[in-house]
Amino acid sequence: MFRDFLNELAPRLKERKVLVTSHANADPDAISSILVGLRLVEHLGGKGCALVPQGLSKVSREMLNLTGVELKYCSGRDIEVCLVVDSSNSVQLGDVWSLCSTARVRVLIDHHMPGNLAEAADVKLIDPTASSATELMVLLLHEAGGKLSPPEATLVSSGIFYDTRTFSYASRYAFKAMSVLLDWGCEHKKIAKAFAARKRGDFSLRMAVLKALSRMRLERACEDILIATTHVSSYESDVANVLLSLGADVALVVSEKSALLRVSVRTSERAISRGVSAYDLSLQIAEKLGGEGGGHEGASMVHMNLRPLESVVEEVAKIAVGRATKACSGR
């Protein structure tokens, strides 16, 4: 599948100006995919530059500082091709979407369930079984005969570490891609140590987790499905992961980000086996409260317009309880 995709892609990138972009507040999977995207464009004879809507997330900045890798950002707006990585929905691209929607060619490489970007793309590689977008990008670059420098390979491994939660959710592609990255000189231990230290030591993350717990509401559905709902001012994804690791089956964490509300949704294997997936919940929340939902089976996100956080917490908790009760009674 990588070979066929490359055959389709290569003639469209050659000698063209290519914008490589991803979702707002780019996480390590997004920046790693962008970096490999830039190298792939160069390798296939195009000229690439990056744009990141609303900048990089804190952990992404840490990973770039740690490895000393820099992304080449676009200066002008004269774009011929738009390559979107690690995103499924145009709302995730913010202002950058206007550049992409008018580009001559739109390319999408992603591992989320298909959203409206899949419809808008002229060429696409979408595989929701991949645990990160980075692993798809690395295997594509490898198949194309390109490679990364050792610091770049180290940075790029952070995309896989991050999205697989240090390999707990890794797919076979993730291990294949890691093996390629190690051949290219990746120092994976550097990244592993940084992730472990970050979890233990980051003051604002610890604060967010404990505040989230103090505000949390807990519901029970279907005998043994625990639904935890809360709100935070940042770190909503990390907090949702922590809630799941503490035993919640459904974690819903509401936060406000750049004049939008986000709901980070996570579901356990138990919840998924009963027919309650984060992906379905995010679509249902978006439909009922207005907004855009999407992501993966076990981890997804809803974006919606601002409204009081407490009322959203209440409503999403109700939706999750309703969904679980329905699923368990087989309706």
* Burial state string for 215-239 with b = 16 or more CB within 10 A and e = fewer than 16: ebeeeebbeebbbbbbbbebbbbbb
- Please tell me whether residue 300 adopts helix, strand or coil conformation: strand
Smallest gap from Cβ 329 to Mn ion, in A, equals: 34
Taking the least distance from each CB to Mn ion, the nearer of 28 and 291 is 28
C-beta of residue 288 within 8 angstroms of C-beta of residue 318? no
Distance CA 90, CA 81 (A): 16
Taking the least distance from each CB to Mn ion, the nearer of 29 and 238 is 29
Smallest gap from Cβ 254 to Mn ion, in A, equals: 21
Smallest gap from Cβ 295 to Mn ion, in A, equals: 9
Taking the least distance from each CB to Mn ion, the nearer of 132 and 255 is 132
Taking the least distance from each CB to Mn ion, the nearer of 28 and 48 is 28
Distance CA 285, CA 314 (A): 12
Q: What are the E-state strand segments in the chain?
A: 17-21, 47-51, 81-85, 105-110, 123-126, 217-221, 225-231, 250-257, 260-267, 292-295, 299-305
Taking the least distance from each CB to Mn ion, the nearer of 87 and 230 is 87
Question: Would you tell me which residues interact with Mn ion (CB under 5 A)?
Answer: 29, 86, 133, 163
Task: Kindly report the length of the chain.
Answer: 331
Smallest gap from Cβ 61 to Mn ion, in A, equals: 17
Smallest gap from Cβ 268 to Mn ion, in A, equals: 19
